[in-house]
Amino acid sequence: MAEKKVIAVIGATGSQGGGLAQAILDDVNGGFACRAITRDTAKEKAQALAAKGAEVVKADLDDAASLERAFTGAHGVYCVTNFWEHFSAEKEKEQAKNLAAAAKAAGAKHVIWSTLEDTRKWMAPDDTRMPFLQEKYRVPHLDAKAEADAYFAGLPVTYLLTSFYWDNLYAFGLAPKKGGDGVYHWVMPMGDKKLAGIAAVDIGKCAYGIYKAGAEYTGKTVGIAGESLTVAAMGEALGKALGIRVNYEAVEPEMYRGFGFPGADELGNMFQVFRDFEKEWMGARSVDLAKKLNPALMNFGQWLDAYKGKIPLE
Ligand SMILES: NC(=O)c1ccc[n+]([C@@H]2O[C@H](COP(=O)([O-])OP(=O)(O)OC[C@H]3O[C@@H](n4cnc5c(N)ncnc54)[C@H](OP(=O)(O)O)[C@@H]3O)[C@@H](O)[C@H]2O)c1
């Protein structure tokens, strides 16, 4: 049997990379092997991956030499950065630069860069609908990823445009909150526009489909979603699934930005982009393509069936 092609997975202990690691390990005869990269090889999630057959390797996005070592000998490299760990667009770009340089030095044959759009292309600099953040960004964690695309130019790269994880409902505090009246209030600045969403685990499964397809997607941008729904429709489905009453309250982004929790301004701007540029955002993401890459792709109802138990009822 031919030797398996190694895919080095950044973020293997997290959502995106975790889904990819799982997909590689589940497909025992798929011809690929998983190299799970983490800063802490002793942590539970890393050990669980090792127990399932992954090679677990230590590296840090802030240390380019460690990334090059971790990528050496790999066929594929999955690159993702975690803005939410430090909230800095500049740091996110530095980390992406390290990833691209390491992939190049290691001679990776297929790189996937988990990116997002530069939202500034949709608003003139003097557009006042939302503030600039971190001096020059509209949505720092989107705009910075898009700026970082340039570091990957010249590599055999697929630019992967992801969507809003439905898992944010339990992992990011974005579930409806119970009011004194017993009704769950879902306060979101999305108006009546649709939100392109996806099960976080499906991102990695789609990425695996991209590696399996080989050269078909190198040099291309691939946008994926599981389903696009209005928040009102999501609230209704959520209410039915959990046996609660969910009331969607569409607030203005300006109000949302003022809520004061860490990242409220960033998320206020992000949801405003989703709302005001619904056509552009949804147009860049395809459920059909995601399904082609990952036939097990979930829609929101299927995701609810599988994950509703994790959503906090508080
Ligand atoms: N939430 C959403 O709806 C959504 C949608 C689209 C895109 N995104 C983007 O997804 C990204 C986060 O990905 P995720 O959700 O998969 O992350 P996650 O579940 O929060 O996990 C973060 C992963 O990144 C790894 N990591 C973080 N800093 C690292 C470093 N310095 N060196 C090496 N590894 C590092 C962690 O590994 P160890 O801790 O094991 O080292 C962990 O595996 C963000 O940039 C966000 O903008 C999120």
Place of tokens 């695996």: 208
Residue 64 CA to residue 61 CA, distance in Å, equals 7
pLDDT of residue 37: 98
Residue 116 CA to residue 280 CA, distance in Å, equals 13
* Residue 11 in contact with ligand 1 by CB distance below 6 A: yes
- According to the 3-state scheme, what is the secondary structure of the chain? CCCCEEEEECCCCCHHHHHHHHHHHHCCCCCEEEEEEECCCCCHHHHHHHHCCCEEEECCCCCHHHHHHHHCCCCEEEECCCHHHCCCHHHHHHHHHHHHHHHHHHCCCEEEEEECCCHHHHCCCCCCCCCCECCCECCHHHHHHHHHHHHHCCCCEEEEECCEECCHHHHCCCCCEECCCCCEEEEECCCCCEEEEECHHHHHHHHHHHHHHHHHHCCCEEEECCEEEEHHHHHHHHHHHHCCCEEEEECCHHHHHCCCCCCHHHHHHHHHHHHHCHHHHHHCCEHHHHHHHCCCCCCHHHHHHHHHHHCCCC
Q: What is the pTM of this model?
A: 0.98
Report the residue among 10, 82, 303 best suited for mutation to probe ligand 1: largest number of ligand atoms under 8 A from its CB.
82
* Token pair belonging to 197: 């969403």
Instruction: Report CA(132)–ligand 1 centroid distance (Å).
Output: 24
Per-residue pLDDT, averaged over 200-224, amounts to: 98
Per-residue pLDDT, averaged over 147-168, amounts to: 98
Neighbouring CB atoms inside 10 A of 152's CB total: 23
Sheet bearing 184-188, strands edge to edge: 177-178, 184-188, 246-250
Instruction: Report the chain's mean pLDDT, rounded to a whole number.
Output: 98
* Residue 61 in contact with ligand 1 by CB distance below 6 A: yes
Q: pLDDT tens-digit profile of 97-125? A: 999 999 999 999 999 999 999 999 999 99
pLDDT of residue 66: 98
Instruction: Report CA(144)–ligand 1 centroid distance (Å).
Output: 15
Q: pLDDT tens-digit profile of 226-248? A: 999 999 999 999 999 999 999 99
Residue 10 CA to residue 258 CA, distance in Å, equals 34
Q: pLDDT tens-digit profile of 30-49? A: 999 999 999 999 999 999 99
Quick one: which atom of ligand 1 is closest to the CA of 172?
Answer: 1
Residue 297 CA to residue 273 CA, distance in Å, equals 25
